[in-house]
Structure 1
């Protein structure tokens, strides 16, 4: 193996280690966001019509697939298997398209989700105030729009970090807190998807180059 092929082989190997870690990051972010959404309970999940769960579930699925394919790519690079390398390159190109689609859906769809959050929280607060306390406890917020959402009613303990719970030490409104949470989550997922997608394109090219070298070496060995 020449110097160029040796470099490509190990660049591909270490690139796949990066993909494996990136896949775990996507998986971890998806799990963390899903746990946060699950903690909101069935009340908000019902009024949101499942839209809040699309991005976390997609991130978990894509992260798991990326991790498995990266492991497959590492084996193909080390063993110099033409079949495994070509299969890996095809998967990389497919995943790149999926990453771009995921980033597009997140960046385009997130605006609609953020615009709907005040309505979802308002409906949840109006239908079940006691159930809304779980949202306040999870996200450390108070009412849809802050302490004034409760009017003349005494503030619940979930609205404050310490007792007694008063307007002066109450958390911010849940509208603003959840808006920041989903904005940050969407931005991080979108950026990770774009960066990984770009590197996947390079890895696919390297994989095809190495596969071509392996095929040529096999042909030369037969003569």
Structure 2
């Protein structure tokens, strides 16, 4: 058993945090499964957001489905890891806690690697984003026109003509830069969420390690 009141408190904190994460991940799994099973639901949900249904044709169903599969896989992964954390803390099992902490460290390493890659390959990512917008504009003009109306932008780059010649926003801001501006406006929120996520992950690893060191012999 864990020696000392401090270790007991640590055990219950680790268990409680993982229960919350487990429930959130479970909700994500159920939500993604429902959307995958019934593709029409996301369109109905989108109608609650002004004009969003106008962009249905801009994103292909296969892209949406792929995104749902990615979210489902991420939710399942978090579900499994949080389950390990719950069991390891409650049962005071060393090997479960070690496995849990290792999984979190791997996720942290992947997140750091993704951040570094995003910085190093920034120009390549920007070019690919512009290529996606250009391709969408050429293949589906009506949907891209809806995007221009929604974001009040024209074409892809600054100065490009609008698909609908009657729309002449001044200055003519390209949709790429408009989307970039929206991202920049929400960047503090995204950064805050990212920092909080990393802090929580590091804290969970520390809690698991501290609890593990306070245990006696490994409980099978």
TM-score, normalisation: structure 1? 0.58
Q: Hey, what does 2:203 align to over in structure 1? A: 202
1:140 partnered with 2:151:
yes
Structure 1 contact 100–193 (Cα < 8 Å) conserved: no
TM-superposed CA distance for 1:9, in Å, is: 0.9
1:114 partnered with 2:126:
yes
Q: Deviations over 1:177-210 (max 9, x none)?
A: 2223455677766654454334323322321332
Q: 2:108 aligns with which of 47, 72, 96?
A: 96
CA distance in 2, matches of 1:60, 1:105: 24
Q: Hey, what does 1:4 align to over in structure 2? A: 6
Q: Hey, what does 2:58 align to over in structure 1? A: 40
- 1:14-29 aligned at under 5 Å gives the runs 14-17=16-19, 19-20=21-22
Q: 1:185 to 1:148 in 2, by over 3 A?
A: same
SS of the aligned residue for 1:132 comes to helix
Higher helix share: 1
SS of the aligned residue for 1:149 comes to coil
TM-superposed CA distance for 1:60, in Å, is: 6.3
CA-based RMSD: 4.8
CA distance in 2, matches of 1:203, 1:18: 13
Structure 2 contact 162–168 (Cα < 8 Å) conserved: no
Q: Deviations over 1:53-93 (max 9, x none)?
A: x9998676445423431232123212322332222122122
Q: Which runs of 5+ in 2 are unaligned?
A: 36-41, 47-51
TM-superposed CA distance for 1:7, in Å, is: 2.2
1:77 partnered with 2:89:
yes
CA distance in 2, matches of 1:109, 1:182: 18
CA distance in 2, matches of 1:12, 1:213: 14
Q: Deviations over 1:131-180 (max 9, x none)?
A: 4225336x5334315897148x643xxxxxxxxxx546999642222223
